[in-house]
Amino acid sequence: MRNGWTISIAAVLALALSPVWQSAKAADTGPVNFSGMWVHPFFPGIEPPAEGPGPVFNLTRRPNGQSNNNQFVGDFSNPILKPEAAAIVKQHGEISQKGLTYPTPSNRCWPSGVPYIFFQPGMQMLQQQDEIVFIYMRNHEVRHVRLNQKHPEHVTPSWYGDSVAHYEGDSLVIDTVGIKADRPYAMVDMFGTPFSAGIHVVERYRMIDYDDAKEAMLRNMKINPRVPDTRADLDYRGKQLQVIFTVEDNGVFTMPWSGAITYEKPKMEWEEIVCADNPFDFFAEKIGAKVPTAAKPDF
């Protein structure tokens, strides 16, 4: 589905390994220590909620019922979609059914935004007293979340929006508004589901017992296949990290809907994965498209 070139090189994130991060303790950062590397070895990734309306999923399936990731045809009949949004999802699916690839943030090397970014198979969470930082494995995508602060009265739209967080018991609750909708490839998922400037996303992170995590993963495996090269520690039986997120957008959706990501402990090294511009615009049926170049150096 992706037509962006991906280059993997062994690297270490200096920020993640700095003494400042290594010395962070749960007592200094909140009631629960979420810090560390986590993997979600499924693609496209978003899990169905335990109950209630959920996201758009793939209509094309493998014989075992899982998503056929060689062809993305979003379920445009999902009742969460307003007619205009359903038409956009249907249009993307028709392109895929022709054997072509339509552009997405991930295959065109653009910032993902939320909740699109949850497709990422690896994430590192860095917890501080005043801020939570998310570093995603692919393409150096980073989110900054301010703790115990309010959104400004007038939010300037940005790639990942304005995110503020607080703790509710053992949960970390993140509230995001102001996600830039006036942008290329403005979508919340791999199926091209659009969003508007009014999108509002709430994430609730908490640690869950292994049995609960396993139940969520089994439910997810009915829809999304595991990614074989993202190595989770299958012998680990401790607590896992789960986020339940809810999306509201009256401009696109008929109702709020929810999804989940259940992260596992990794059994792998952190790799730097860089998305590079692709000279072949297959989605536009162009073979000789040129790589963008600058007229003068940036610095």
Quick: pLDDT tens for 29-39: 678 999 999 99
Per-residue pLDDT of 104-153, as tens digits, reads 998 888 899 999 999 998 899 999 999 999 999 888 899 999 999 999 99
Q: Using the predicted structure, report yes or no on whether residue 74 has a pLDDT greater than 70.
A: yes
Cα(113)–Cα(219) distance, integer angstroms: 26
- 222/27: higher pLDDT: 222
Determine contact, residues 89/74, Cβ cutoff 8 Å. yes
Determine contact, residues 188/195, Cβ cutoff 8 Å. yes
Cα(27)–Cα(118) distance, integer angstroms: 28
Average pLDDT of the residues in 247-260: 97
CA dihedral in degrees (190, 194, 200, 206; nearest 10)? -10
What pLDDT score does 140 carry?
83
Residue 117: CB partners within 8 Å, gap ≥ 6?
136, 141, 143, 160
pTM greater than the 0.75 cutoff: yes
